[in-house]
Every structure is written in structure tokens, then in C-alpha cells.
Amino acid sequence: MGTTRILTVPFALGLALTAVAVTGPASASAPAVPAPAPAGETVLTNKDHGRTVTVNSGDVVTVRLTGSRTPGATWVWSKPVTGDFWVLLPTGSSASPDGSVTADFRAGEAGTTTVGSSGRCVPDAGHVCAQVILPWKVTVVVK
């Protein structure tokens, strides 16, 4: 019975010392590790057609094209696409019933590419639309 008491004390003391060594003393604080810089974001809209924008690798490029209603029709945008997936990687997109579309891209390798979409008229029942396509294109330079 005496042996059990002698082994229990060193075992319990060893556990306590191990906990302090692993977690550190209660008063010590871990050294501050700087958080990575957040990626920049560039938002492109209908009025940016024809522009050239410059972004950094890792930045987010968001395209938000707004559809519109006219009597008897909705003008809708196609899903924006990139010309080079290595320079501008698509990460997600969505479309809404009002003709608007949103697409996100992540700037990758250094280079130049385009991102584009096209708008078209979708007639309501009993109406017709002109066969017109509205182009939208932006040149993106990734550094």
C-alpha cells in the first residue's frame, strides 16, 4: 500500500508539469503572429465596360451586372467568363430573375486577360424583342 502512494505522487506531479510545459504558465502569452494581409477586392459594374483594371495576384475581382426591365421584356446578362483561367480563376457566380448576374474571380498568375458577358432581351409572354446583343468586356491585368 505504501508503494501505491509513492508512485501516485510522482505520477500526478509529472502530469501537472507536463500540462504547464505544453500550455505554458498562466501568465505567459504566446508571441503575436501577424495575420496575413487581406486580399484586395475590385468590383466591376455595367459602367466599367471597356475599362482596363490592374489587380494583384490573390485579389478578388467581382463582376456585378444589373439587368433591367422594359415594358414587356427583361434585359438579362450572361454569366461572366474569363479568357484565361490561370490569370483569373472563376470562383462562383449567381443570376437573379431580374436579369442581374454576379461572378467572383481570384487573380492568379501575372498576366493580362479579359472578363466578359453579354446582355440580351428576354420577352414576356405575348411580346417580342429586338435581336440585339449588348457586349460587356473589361481587361484585367494581374501583377
Asked if residue 34 is part of any domain, the answer here is no
Containing domain of residue 82, as a range? Answer: 41-142
Give pLDDT tens digits for 39-90. 699 999 999 999 999 999 999 999 999 999 989 999 999 999 999 999 999 9
Distance CA(5)–CA(26), nearest Å, equals 29
**Cβ partners under 8 Å of residue 36, min gap 6:** none
Overall number of domains in the chain? 1
In a domain, 18, yes or no: no
Using a cut of 0.85, tell me whether the model's pTM lies above it.
no
> Is position 8 within any domain?
no
Is 23 within a domain?
Answer: no
Asked, for residue 3, whether it belongs to a domain, the answer is no
Q: Is residue 5 part of a domain?
A: no
Nearest to 102 by CA among 111, 90, 113, 114: 90
CA distance 39 to 50: 24
Q: Any bridge partners for residue 121, and if so which? A: 75
Q: Is there a domain that residue 80 lies in?
A: yes
